[in-house]
Amino acid sequence: MAKIIDGRELAKEIRAEIKADAEAFTAETGVVPGLVTVLVGEDPASQQYVRMKGKAADAVSFNSRQITLPADTPHDELLGLVQGLNADPEVHGILVQLPLPDQIDEDVILETIDPAKDVDGFHPVNVGRLSIGDDDVLAPCTPAGVVEMLVRYGYDPKGKHVVVVGRSNIVGKPLALLLLRKAPGGNATVTVAHSRTADLGAVTRTADIVVAAVGVPETVTRDMVKPGVVVIDVGANQIEDPSAERGYRWVGDVDFDGVSQVAEAITPVPGGVGPMTITMLLKNTLEAARRQLAAGQVVEGAPTR
Ligand code: GUN
């Protein structure tokens, strides 16, 4: 049976490190890292994510503020809010939860966030920096969490063939770029496969490491991996399950039971990549605060609430 790569345990460990670093930073500078999350509408999953992000930020001694706006908020109002947060020296990280309602132009909103405060790593400037191999970029949280898990569990991607299944802007593409960097956690040989890849199994069977990020339950099955593979499952799919208390359960993009019989190591769902994503958000926020202070943008002051 495969070794379990425990995202909850690892996240706990890293969050303790971030908390100690944040407290030392505040003691030294008087600045408390500030994270603002913005949620438009009432999608229950988004509400839960935003709540978890706020709680995680508070737990590592940051200032966190959640701004919730009605689903019919006009584009210009959200734009104005983001511009205000850009100008607020106590706010070091801005996260606008996606997806946004139809009347709002998501691209314009993401491009309006100051790249220095873009703790999601979604601004085109940060995407561009990542693509040219800038080591100091604020990297998107889920891909950064995947790399961190591999490295901390002793599965350094350097020299390995990593097959990333999925080509989204949030996970697949930025993960491929991180893995390609000439930097710690990079130096991999990377193949990006996706929904139109012919004979996906033939591709994934050549992988030393498979990362599944397609959003389709149990896409990667036992016959599609080679023995000894390391598997990271980014999927978080709710499927109906009448026997479960809530009527549903979470499954990943990997058939866990089958693949774990042949893999060297595998992440569970839940308890794998999910907790690492929020952890990387905290890391980015502290890093953003450090850089903004160094750049002289931060005015020492009272907490934001
Ligand atoms: N919606 C789903 N995942 C994410 C994420 O990582 N960041 C933001 N802002 N919205 C999301």
Query: Where does a domain end: 98, 114, 130?
Result: 114
Q: Quick one: tokens of 274? A: 């999910």
Gap between the Cα atoms of 249 and 230, Å rounded: 24
Query: Rounded to two decimals, what is the model's pTM?
Result: 0.94
52 lines ligand 1 (CB under 6 A): no
Closest residue to atom 8 of ligand 1, CA basis? 97
Asked if residue 168 and residue 90 are part of one domain, the reply reads: no
What's the CATH number where 264 sits? 3.40.50.720
Q: What is the pLDDT of residue 106?
A: 97
Asked if residue 153 and residue 77 are part of one domain, the reply reads: no
Closest residue to atom 2 of ligand 1, CA basis? 98
Distance 1 CA to ligand 1 centre (A): 33
Q: What is the pLDDT of residue 304?
A: 47
Asked if residue 247 and residue 165 are part of one domain, the reply reads: yes
Asked if residue 88 and residue 179 are part of one domain, the reply reads: no
The pLDDT of residue 228 is above 50: yes
Asked if residue 263 and residue 216 are part of one domain, the reply reads: yes
Asked if 113 contacts 82 with a C-beta cutoff of 8 angstroms, the reply is yes
Question: Per the domain annotation, does 201 fall within a domain?
Answer: yes
Asked if residue 161 and residue 46 are part of one domain, the reply reads: no
Question: Per the domain annotation, does 76 fall within a domain?
Answer: yes
Question: Per the domain annotation, does 66 fall within a domain?
Answer: yes
Question: Per the domain annotation, does 79 fall within a domain?
Answer: yes
Distance 4 CA to ligand 1 centre (A): 25
Asked if residue 174 and residue 98 are part of one domain, the reply reads: no
The pLDDT of residue 303 is above 70: no
Q: Which atom of ligand 1 is nearest to the CA of 99?
A: 1
Query: Where does a domain end: 78, 97, 114?
Result: 114
Predicted confidence (pLDDT) per residue in 89-108, tens digit? 999 999 999 999 999 999 99
Asked if residue 91 and residue 37 are part of one domain, the reply reads: yes
Question: Per the domain annotation, does 230 fall within a domain?
Answer: yes
User: Measuring CA to CA, which residue among 189, 192, 186, 188 is closest to residue 167?
Assistant: 192
| Element housing 284 (H / E) | helix 273-294
Q: How many helices (H) and strands (E) does the chain have?
A: 10, 11
Question: Per the domain annotation, does 269 fall within a domain?
Answer: yes
Question: Per the domain annotation, does 303 fall within a domain?
Answer: no
Predicted confidence (pLDDT) per residue in 47-89, tens digit? 999 999 999 999 999 999 999 999 999 999 999 999 999 999 9
Asked if residue 147 and residue 109 are part of one domain, the reply reads: no
The pLDDT of residue 45 is above 90: no
Asked if residue 149 and residue 110 are part of one domain, the reply reads: no
Predicted confidence (pLDDT) per residue in 106-138, tens digit? 999 999 999 999 999 999 999 999 999 998 899
Asked if residue 103 and residue 201 are part of one domain, the reply reads: no
What's the CATH number where 57 sits? 3.40.50.10860
User: Measuring CA to CA, which residue among 270, 280, 17 is closest to residue 145?
Assistant: 280
Gap between the Cα atoms of 127 and 140, Å rounded: 9
Q: Domain span at residue 104?
A: 32-114
Domains of the chain: total: 2
Gap between the Cα atoms of 140 and 148, Å rounded: 12
Cα angle at 286 between 278 and 128, to 5 degrees? Answer: 80
Q: What is the pLDDT of residue 299?
A: 53
Asked if residue 109 and residue 201 are part of one domain, the reply reads: no
Cα 195 to chain centroid, rounded: 22
Q: What is the pLDDT of residue 191?
A: 99
- 219: helix, coil or strand? coil
Distance 87 CA to ligand 1 centre (A): 23
Question: Per the domain annotation, does 151 fall within a domain?
Answer: yes
Which of 97, 141, 142 has most ligand 1 atoms within 8 Å of its beta carbon, as the pocket-test mutant?
97
